[in-house]
Structure 1
């Protein structure tokens, strides 16, 4: 069969895409020059994945939030799913997204082979290849319910200020709906009506750039930066840590990309500010933050029961029911239903022991699309952000191991593990000396460099990448059983230890301590995805001297870190880390000074070292039911070293004398613990 020229093939596809205000996916296998010749010279496509003629994958990912026309994407072993989703989201209606298959099938990694298989089974995708030629099928028009538009979102944000206090707004949207733009335009409208003080916070200034761009466009100003004064109104960006620390007065707090900000910080903001609008992305080109949204809603139900929500649904660059959006969501499993929808009411006592835990191979996942969907949906529901590249790694990573927990033929839990270490001594010493980095081995390299010990990288370790349990099955020992199985297989494989790195929270940290893991390193900066400090822990499978050394060094460094680099750590998280550490008996001189402090003969600042020692000792023994509102005051001043003014403001105390009195009374009551 003679195939039509690409120009003849592309032209009707472009016309139809423009007619329906949709985009169109096309797969071809011709050489690049032939593909480019299929486009009108006046509308040349953007080439992606080919640094000689177009954008690298990194450059393509940086286009997120911008707009473009046709694109030609190179599909080969270097294909980057996350960057592809990002650049596809930049294409306007009427554009072709052409996937040029630039390598043989057996030269592709499994994730790309799966991608091509799924595309060939999707009749909305056009093909002009030697092995498949077809035009896309026109699906029946989907009945559209009322779409929530950007104007609806703008009005809802404005009502946060003009309506009742203590009714925060949660604005959710898939990427490409104009959520950040709506925040900026609403802020501009409010500033034009009367003088107002508005604060914007997001994980970084870059995350707020779209908001400020549309704010300036609406105000018709050219001011640079993110601190703007306009006719008596003021709007400025403040980083999350600084906002929590300083808590300046404001008429409105706008929080954008909230999924990358820890929930405890958002909770404190909601207490500090009476008018708050929070925006977060659920399904994005770069992944999904749906699990965060669920947790945020649960928190709002408890702390702000009058909260309101609005889901922005109308896309900005294309019409509803765009076939490309539908295909990409299905292809990268970004719209899967929550596996945790099952109920456990009918489960018999001891059901956890009936759960079958077994390794799940990459070959099984490649062959069984339903199993892959269950696994990835489970991971999405359990983690803040999950991206298309995470899906690719499940299929491609030779060092990856997966342990799946099955109950009644349903996947209810999973643990993804990476094999690390086993590196030759010469490379180990070069890494520790800072002379080179090796691909992968994230935990081993980090700890080896931290301790200055090549032995860490030479030893064979496993690292828990992700552990997920379906919602109805949590808090019943499933995670503990999963890790016990991982430890058993690790021992059989002569692995010396199992490590984990996670964003430390007051819930997660005690879990890992309970499983026998020991802290070896605390990150100096908050993780971009979770918004928490990264905590690295290790469970020795065999006796490990360097693990004991790491624990002693961790315990030695922690008091200094909390007074300096981690001064803004949440008090409950700080306490959860301290609670798992070994403690030594208090010395006689420390006890004497504590007695003097309780008697009133010495103040907090003069007895700070002794109070720190006592508090470390006390936190490790205090029962959760015994905690009260005063303990965070002690942690804030004694362990984190926050200024008295900040402590008094945060806990609504009359002044330093009031704060010291509460600290003294607390210690007097708990002297024997």
Structure 2
């Protein structure tokens, strides 16, 4: 197997440099840009090219650095190829970081010397290791013993997809009575696997979920971290999970947390699980400077960061761009490992957006708690009406917009909010109060004295909710819809304060009652719920087509209970599991849209 030479990097600053580079590109390259009419695809379509191979990859980032695209497509550049990035003209911490590590790993006078220092023996050993693993997987499949679920984890370019394809090809050709199925986030992501196993059936993962369970069907998943974790778990329960391979570092989907969460789950669910780690690159030489540049730029190194005893202990609030490299690495690694929805763009935000800060606790040189904080609001007055009416949804400002829109609270759009986007503690430091103490530090910090409300958003589950409630946060909104990645409802919790007025307490009571109603999944509208103003606000917003049925459902249930307590429609609306499709059937409507129209018309007569 030939890997070619070291891969190269070009960071371009001017339009003329970019045009000149693009004009010289070969047919075995790809150009992604949001604005260039000659591009092969838009930059935000980068996921479609995972699993491909190119001599050169051109990324037009001059309107903003897309860290997810850079990390994902860097792995598609073959040995001897190059990655060319057109950077923004405006300086930023992220842009300077790209340049800093480029200067470190691409010094012109050392490049040839480094190229000759590659260890052929280590590469040959890795080839033997892959062949041994391939034989092990094939032999087990042909044995009479129950198969293991094999989880294969590797950085890009390590040969995992080729391995899967070769194993699958040999086993499937010799096993005509066994049903094999391959899936991936997109069919294009399994291109290398399917090339090595051309007779294999590929099925989209969402279509597979619709099929009946069949233990006789052996499941193979490539790029598993790009599929929602809940979906991967369901697929493994429906079929026999055989080979699951994924890249974790720098992934734009579930990322490194996928490996942690999924492996823990698999070991609990299945009796026979084996994990394999592929470390040596197959598509480029060892010590490839482009891979080293990428790893350091985007903090993708999974090796533990050693504590730095030279740094002071205590609690701190800082911009990421002002941190030492050691502290930034510790904080970011904690956030990545604790949350399975992570992205390289997270680092870009932390470094470049002045509304984002990190609060952390250091003890004996080790970060034992970290929180990602985002300042939100106030929004410009000219946006308020559009947001309240559901016509505008400016990027960012999650808390004020969600409270303003879903609860129809105009004041929320003028308030100054502080949101805890994520909070994490190392496993060996959990259940010691570290996270709670950090929250107290954040709430009392002088830089937050002008903040009106302190809140958080997360995928609701009992353990996480209990943590926030223990720290004085209460639910203000629990979505009726499940998040597509976590399969849990999105929750917004806000910290109570002695200065809260009556209307704030009304929101507390309303949200608590709605949450109980949703949690118990049965008709249990509290008799003592006395929030006519809030219920009327939400019903009016539904009648004016500002908010959808699911956002108004609880308010409609309360409203009908007060207006028509014995009506059959009241009983139906009191069920939290009621869908628009079921409502349409009851109302004799042929579509969900017609059901909304009829319900609005009937409700308007009662107002």
TM-score, scaled relative to structure 1: 0.66
Corresponding residue of 2:426: 470
State the 1:417 CA deviation: 0.7
For the residues of structure 2 that align with 1:94 and 1:287, how far apart are their CA atoms?
28
Q: Deviations over 1:432-465 (max 9, x none)?
A: 1122222310232123221222222222211111
For the residues of structure 1 that align with 2:442 and 2:525, how far apart are their CA atoms?
25
CA contact (8 A) 1:161 1:275 kept: no
For the residues of structure 2 that align with 1:583 and 1:21, how far apart are their CA atoms?
70
Aligned residues: 519
Corresponding residue of 1:58: 44
For the residues of structure 1 that align with 2:133 and 2:501, how far apart are their CA atoms?
56
CA contact (8 A) 1:290 1:384 kept: yes
For the residues of structure 2 that align with 1:57 and 1:201, how far apart are their CA atoms?
24
For the residues of structure 1 that align with 2:576 and 2:46, how far apart are their CA atoms?
45
Secondary structure in 2 aligned to 1:321?
A: coil
Find the partner of 2:16 among 28, 32, 39: 32
State the 1:318 CA deviation: 2.8
| Matches for 1:179-190 after TM superposition, within 5 Å | 179-180=160-161, 182-183=163-164, 186-190=167-171
Q: Deviations over 1:489-512 (max 9, x none)?
A: 389523232222222334323222
Confirm or deny that 1:165 pairs with 2:141.
no
Corresponding residue of 2:355: 399
Find the partner of 2:114 among 129, 138, 147: 138
Corresponding residue of 2:500: 543
CA gap of 1:457–1:250, structure 2 versus 1, over 3 A, is farther
Find the partner of 1:359 among 296, 317, 320: 317
For the residues of structure 2 that align with 1:301 and 1:477, how far apart are their CA atoms?
29
State the 1:408 CA deviation: 1.9
CA contact (8 A) 2:373 2:421 kept: yes
CA gap of 1:158–1:532, structure 2 versus 1, over 3 A, is farther
CA contact (8 A) 1:522 1:535 kept: yes
State the 1:114 CA deviation: 2.0
Stretch of structure 1 that moved more, 146-155 or 426-435: 146-155
| Matches for 1:202-601 after TM superposition, within 5 Å | 206-207=185-186, 209-211=188-190, 214-215=193-194, 218-220=197-199, 226=202, 237=205, 242=210, 246-259=212-225, 276-284=242-250, 286=252, 289-304=255-270, 306-315=272-281, 317-339=283-305, 356-365=314-323, 368-489=324-445, 492-541=448-497, 542-543=499-500, 547-554=504-511, 557=514
CA contact (8 A) 1:180 1:210 kept: no
Secondary structure in 1 aligned to 2:79?
A: coil
Confirm or deny that 1:117 pairs with 2:75.
no
For the residues of structure 2 that align with 1:162 and 1:442, how far apart are their CA atoms?
53
Secondary structure in 2 aligned to 1:171?
A: strand
Secondary structure in 1 aligned to 2:333?
A: helix
CA contact (8 A) 2:249 2:255 kept: yes
State the 1:253 CA deviation: 3.2
CA gap of 1:299–1:155, structure 2 versus 1, over 3 A, is same
Structure 1: gaps of 5 or more residues: 1-17, 127-132, 228-235, 343-353, 563-573, 587-637, 642-673
Structure 2: gaps of 5 or more residues: 530-574, 579-607
CA gap of 1:385–1:178, structure 2 versus 1, over 3 A, is farther
For the residues of structure 1 that align with 2:434 and 2:88, how far apart are their CA atoms?
44
Stretch of structure 1 that moved more, 515-524 or 280-289: 280-289
Secondary structure in 2 aligned to 1:116?
A: helix
- RMSD (Å), alpha carbons: 4.2
For the residues of structure 2 that align with 1:532 and 1:157, how far apart are their CA atoms?
35
CA contact (8 A) 2:179 2:218 kept: yes
Q: Deviations over 1:268-317 (max 9, x none)?
A: 77677665433332224547733332343344455545421222345454
TM-score, scaled relative to structure 2: 0.72
For the residues of structure 1 that align with 2:514 and 2:244, how far apart are their CA atoms?
36
For the residues of structure 2 that align with 1:455 and 1:373, how far apart are their CA atoms?
38
Find the partner of 1:89 among 68, 75, 85: 75
